[in-house]
Amino acid sequence: MTTDRIHITGLRVSCIIGINDWERTTKQEVVIDITLHADLTKPGETDDIDDTVNYRDISKAVQAHVEASSYGLIEAMARNIATICLEPEAIVRADVSVQKPGALRGADSVGVEISRDS
């Protein structure tokens, strides 16, 4: 099992998310944190982009998916983000946190965190 990780933190995306009527028509911001687990030994030795996971591509794919989505639950969103993250063969596990700022009065945000293996 590898212990190497790539972190993408604080990815802010506007989307339709929620079950209330107003949430189905008004975009809200979600904040996404992703940890990608992969063996980074080779890119650490070669210093070659072709030997590593392109986190920019993963970030763009996640952003495009979330912006075009219309989820009721952040649990479903997190699951599908994890699926996108696991597409590159080198990724063996993805930890995904989705936070919905302002979802509860008196709380900074409400969120879920999930982990999925390839």
Please identify every residue annotated as catalytic: 100
| Burial class of residue 108, CB neighbours in 10 A (0-12, 13-18, 19+) | exposed
CA dist 62 and 39 (Å) reads 21
> In a 3-state reduction of DSSP, which class is residue 6?
strand
Q: What values do phi and psi take at 41, rounded to 5?
A: -60, -55
Residues for the chain: how many in total?
118
**Spatial strand order in the sheet of 109-117:** 70-71, 5-17, 28-37, 93-101, 109-117
